[in-house]
Structure formats: C-alpha cells, structure tokens
Amino acid sequence: MGQGFGLNTDIFETNVLNLLVVVGIVVGVVGDSFRTLLDQRRKVILSTLQEADNKARDSRKRLAEAKKAVEVALLRAQEIRAQSIKTVEQESISIKQVLENDLQRLKDSGKQGMELERQRAVQTIAHQVANLALTTAERTLYTALGSQSSAILKQKELNEVHVRETFRRLVKMDQSNLIYLRLN
C-alpha cells in the first residue's frame, strides 16, 4: 500500500473504514435526532408530572376544605341538637307551669263556687227563718189583739222595723262569718 491519497481496492481494509464512517454518520445524525426525541419525551413526562403534582395539591386543598366544612357542619349539628334539647326542656317547664297554674285556678274556682253556694244557702235559710218568725209574730199579734185594726197596723210597722233590723244583723253576721272563713 502506498502513501498518499488514493483509492484502496482491498475490500477487507476499506470495509472497516467504511463501517466507521457510516457508524459515525449514523451516530451523528441519528444520535442528534434520538437526543431531540428523548428531550421532547423528557419534557412531556416532566410536564405530566408537574400537572399531576398540581392536581394532587389541588385535591389535597379541596380535601382539607371539605374536612373543615364537615367539622363546621358537625359543630353546627351539635349546637342545633343542644339548642333543641334546651328548647324542649324550657317548653316542658313552661307547659308544666301553665298546667299547675290552671289546676290552681280550677281549685280556687271550685272553692269560690262552693263558698257562693254556702252563702246562698245561708241567705235562703235566713230569709225563711225571718219569714217564719214574721208570720208567727203576726199570727200571735192577731190572736192577742183581736180585731183592733189601728193597733194591728201599728204592730205591723213595728214588726217590719224589727224584721229589717233582724235581716241587717243576719247579713252583718253572715259577712263576718265569710271574713272568718276566708281568713282560715
């Protein structure tokens, strides 16, 4: 083989050089393309990971907000439950007090009704006793006086005055009995 530039026709020697040139060209051209493809793939993967991280952060944030909302709702539900129990207790006490007042009023009303009936009975008996006494006194006078009419009229007037005075005393006595009964 000679020195210089020339064409080598030996297949075995030139094959290795050709292969090296071809491999160098392929590595240079294909390597750049392959590197560009890998860089693009890496950027897509990084972008996807970044989006996943953002979505995970957003999800955690929404989860935290949802947990806070649940806690607030639970606290509000407990407040409402406590308030409703308190309201029910107050209503129960109020209804109980109203019932006690109504029962006392009915008792008082019954006592007043019985007292009024007793007063009516006492007044009726007092009137009957007074009428009976008057009738008896008139008969006794008619019998004793006979037919003396002026004396009878005078006696009638006296009897009416006596009856009025008796009624007045009975009413006064009845009122003092009522005052005594009310005090006891």
For residue range 22-79, what is the model confidence (pLDDT) as tens digits?
A: 788 877 777 778 888 889 999 999 999 999 999 999 999 999 999 999 999 999 999 9
Q: How many domains does the chain have?
A: 1
Mean of pLDDT values over 128-147: 74
Angle among Cα 129, 133, 137 to the nearest 5 degrees reads 175
In a domain, 42, yes or no: yes
Q: Is 147 helix (H, G, I), strand (E, B) or coil?
A: coil
In a domain, 151, yes or no: yes
Q: How far apart are CA 34 and CA 32, in angstroms?
A: 5
In a domain, 138, yes or no: yes
In a domain, 177, yes or no: yes
41: how many CB neighbours lie within 10 A of its CB? Answer: 10
In a domain, 73, yes or no: yes
Can you give the pLDDT at residue 180? 57
Instruction: Domain of residue 153: give its range.
Output: 11-183
The percentage of residues in the chain with a pLDDT greater than 90, rounded to a whole number, is 36
Q: How far apart are CA 134 and CA 159, in angstroms?
A: 7
In a domain, 161, yes or no: yes
Can you give the pLDDT at residue 8? 65
Can you give the pLDDT at residue 167? 77
The reported pTM is 0.39
In a domain, 3, yes or no: no
In a domain, 44, yes or no: yes
